[in-house]
Amino acid sequence: MGQVQDKVAIVTGGASGIGAACVATLAREGAKVVVTDLDDPRGQALVADIGSAGGEAVYLHQDVSLEESWSGIIEAAERRFGRLDVTVANAGIGIMCKAVEMSLADWRRQTAVNLDGVFLSVEYAVPAMRRADGGSIIITSSVAGLRGSAGLAGYCATKGGVRLFAKAVAMECAAEADGIRVNTVHLVSSTRRSGRSYHGPAGATCRSTRTRFAKAGCRSAGWTGSGHREWRAVSRLRRVQLHDGGGAGDRRRHDGRRKTSVELRLTA
């Protein structure tokens, strides 16, 4: 029996990178996964691999910034698997550019994916999770959402925005006592090693990349109350702090393979 046996999850931006790692982990732990992305070949290949390993997953093409795509994604998840328990709002882009050199087209495209996409994922997932008597929303942020980074001003704005957005939504869900948890994950950027390019709209002027992140094996310590907390992956042997309404504790876990130290424990 897996940790999320028979739960139903949607993972946006799930065809590659951290999204694909989330998809693979959820499937391995027993979840039925709806994978969405713009990269159809990779998404379809990932779903095929999961099926070959005995898991259940389906791939759907989606631009998370388009509202008209969302009702179909939720309907497909409920029609095929009966419910929605987990949403991983992972889709995002990173546009490397100084603020004074960034075009408005670049700013708006990045905001559309990183902020509008997260907003829409929450707007459409929450009602479905309420029909299922609760659930969990996990939003991929970044350490760039906690502190500024030269050359990534627009990206920092979006990742800081989703961090506070998640806190607010967590409080709204707690007030409704709907059993929905909302968390953010703050990972270390490794944009210098990014491989694939994101091609912006006509007139875009800055070099654009799909941001990749150092993978971190974050696990919950069993906290089940409604609210918000942050998982952060930081440089090796540093401490990080998690926050929720009940207080937080911290400890180090060194992962030699990934060279990260990940906070794992919340106190009651």
Name the residues annotated as catalytic. Answer: 155
What six digits make up the tokens of 44? 């379809």
Beta bridge partners of 202: none
Residue with tokens 């309404």: 245
Residue with tokens 């794992």: 264
Q: Taking the CA of residue 84 as centre, how many other CA atoms within 13 Å lie in the half-sphere pointing to its CB?
A: 27
Q: Going by C-beta distance under 8 Å and a sequence separation of 6 or more, which residues neighbour residue 173?
A: 126, 180, 181, 182, 226
Please report, for residues 43, 61, 83, 135, 204, the alpha-carbon distance to residue 79 in angstroms, rounded to integers and kept in the order given.
20, 17, 8, 17, 39
For 11, what's the count of Cα atoms within 13 Å in the CB-facing half-sphere?
26
Give bridge partners of residue 233 from the DSSP assignment.
Answer: 262
